[in-house]
Structure 1
Amino acid sequence: MTRWLICSLTTGGPQMIPPREYTLVRFPFAAESYDPDKLHPAQQPDTGRTVTSSDPRAGLIWPRHDAWAHLAAMMVWQDIADLDAADRPTHVRHRFVRDPLNLVTGYDSTATSDHRPRPAGTGGTCRTKTWPIFVHPGTPLGYLVYHDAALPMRLESAEFKVSYTMEAA
């Protein structure tokens, strides 16, 4: 019998993202939309330490098996009309990363996408992505975002999802 392992995370509100650096999106531990297998635990599997939603580790999903997985993500940025014209971004990016905090095997990014923001006054820039990837126990996954505005920008909302199957014993 095939068993699905699914972790579906959503941000609890806006996060300020600094300019010109990839930032690991953090997800609250109490607001999981779906995580029955505890792939997004507050108690970190590598250290046993419990972290809060403000810790960068709140952005990690910890697969528990070697598997071929499906990743999905969504980002929604603020409307750039909120920024002076000289401070606006020319592009936003997002990517998936194995070990984004260099805890185990080293930073390994994949599926980087680069997009122009929507014109000012037409709403926030929203992008989705999916990507298949091999996952391994002990190697966390993360979803990172980037912009090139002159000032920090609001990531209004984000989601990060991982799913894979295992043969049940």
Structure 2
Amino acid sequence: MCSRYYFVLALILILFSEIVIASDTERYELGVGDKVSIRVFGQPDLEVEALLGNSGLVNYPFLGEVKLVGLTVKQVENLISVGLKDGYLVAPNVYAQVIEYRPFYIHGEVKKPGAYPYQPGMTISQAVALAGGMTERASENKIYLSQEKSKSQEALAGVNTNVNAGDTIKIEQRLF
């Protein structure tokens, strides 16, 4: 009976985490450094893979330059679909996805500071693990997060704080 309870509880937690990650990816806004793929069902000539540069523009067949930075994947699908309906295709079935997210950055008292690939749902704890863990001088109470999206100053954060693509994490030294 007890093991069945834990099994059901674990299943609920797994399903809940999938829902949270799915909602994160639905709200994710494309930015400079993201690599995207756009496909139209049955139209291989309209498949495009592009790395978003500083302009945020992608040259798309028939539509020319399309600005994708700041849009969600759903908004990209709608934009391309509406553009293709305007004299090119009757009912285009457009699918867009992020192939590679722009990196987040971590520096300070971690073993391997630098830029790392972002994954939806990532926390500071997971980011620190990617950077090889904290050094022996690291302070677990002085972790700062600068969010790219809000262009805000560094804010004190905990190890369970969510990290977004483009964010910068700084781990300070602790006083002995």
Shared fold, TM over 0.5: no
Greater Rg by CA:
2
TM-score in terms of structure 2 length: 0.27
Return the structure number with greater strand share.
1
Of the two structures, which has the highest relative contact order with CA contacts closer than 8 Å and spacing of 6 or more? Answer: 1
TM-score in terms of structure 1 length: 0.28
